[in-house]
Amino acid sequence: MTVLQIFPFAALGGITGVFAGLLGIGGGMILVPFLTFMFTLSGMPNAIVVHVAIATSMASILFTSLSSVRAHHKRGAVRWDIVWSLAPGILAGGLVGGGKIFAFLKTGWLSIFFAAFVGFSAYQMLKNKKPKPSRTLPGPAGMFGTGGVIGVLSSLVGAGGGFLSVPFMTWCNVAMHNAVATSAALGFPIALASTVGYVVSGWGSDALPSGSLGYVYLPALACIVPASVLSAPWGAKLAHSLDVAQLKRVFSVVLFALASYMLYKAFTALMG
């Protein structure tokens, strides 16, 4: 990888680190579209480009989430009771989604899947529908099932789960700032289980570029991680300086923009 290639990946890591801390989305919603674009420009085969972008994005969340949650924890915003309740289901779901399901899906359908869930999440945040005041978090079985769904879907789109966990928690009357901070903490188990799945499902594939570990492209990962880890605390600090309405607007605008790009990528893949 040349210096001219290193700088864009590092800059992308810095930007996604800020968004990881700001929105609790692990940075994956930002990384996947841009990595898809950059890998396409470098000549990576269309059949694997979205898979590699998603896997590399999720692997970076292993590191970014730790930096982000540390900053949120210092402010006492992480609901650790929710983390421990959702984590077992998330680990199971991430392993399933990041394994055979991920490898089975073609680029076009994977892109559509990404765009649909991101767009839905943006819509839910933008309409700002108030939950019933009496609604609370479900019991152990419900939390395990919810964690499983978050784990599977997050592994298929390469994100830290904030696009599902933040709306779920706010729907259950968890304060927005607590939901964002808790989502950042959930990013680690999601990333761990999913990354193991990506490595196993892509192991030994001749279609993957040199420097890959399964579907994870290590040269890009090495450029992204240092910058994202350093910038994530800035995003966390910014999150606590904004009100709830501002956070939701930022979340929605970012997600709508990225969903649009991935729909374009899906169209070109399916029509090609």
pTM: 0.75
The helix (H) or strand (E) run that includes residue 217 is: strand 216-217
Please classify residue 242 by burial: count the beta carbons closer than 10 Å to its beta carbon, then call 0-12 exposed, 13-18 middle and 19+ buried: middle
What pLDDT, on a 0 to 100 scale, did the predictor assign at position 229? Answer: 77
Closest by CA position to 118, among listed 152, 162, 87, 149 = 162
What pLDDT, on a 0 to 100 scale, did the predictor assign at position 60? Answer: 85
CA distance 64 to 166: 17
The helix (H) or strand (E) run that includes residue 216 is: strand 216-217
List average pLDDT for each run of 10 residues in the chain, which is 272 residues long. Answer: 74 79 64 85 85 88 77 84 93 83 74 75 68 78 92 77 78 84 85 89 86 91 86 74 69 75 72 65
- The three-state secondary structure class of 213 is strand
- The three-state secondary structure class of 212 is strand
What pLDDT, on a 0 to 100 scale, did the predictor assign at position 176? Answer: 79
What pLDDT, on a 0 to 100 scale, did the predictor assign at position 105? Answer: 72
DSSP 100: I
The phi-psi region of residue 208 (left if phi > 0; otherwise alpha if psi is between -120 and 50; otherwise beta) is beta
Which residues have a Cβ under 8 Å from the Cβ of 208 and sit 6 or more positions away?
A: 48, 52, 202, 214, 215
What pLDDT, on a 0 to 100 scale, did the predictor assign at position 132? Answer: 66
In this predicted model, what pLDDT tens digit does every residue of 153-191 receive, in sequence order?
Answer: 888 777 666 667 887 888 888 887 788 788 878 888 888
The phi-psi region of residue 247 (left if phi > 0; otherwise alpha if psi is between -120 and 50; otherwise beta) is alpha
Domains of the chain, residue spans: 3-271
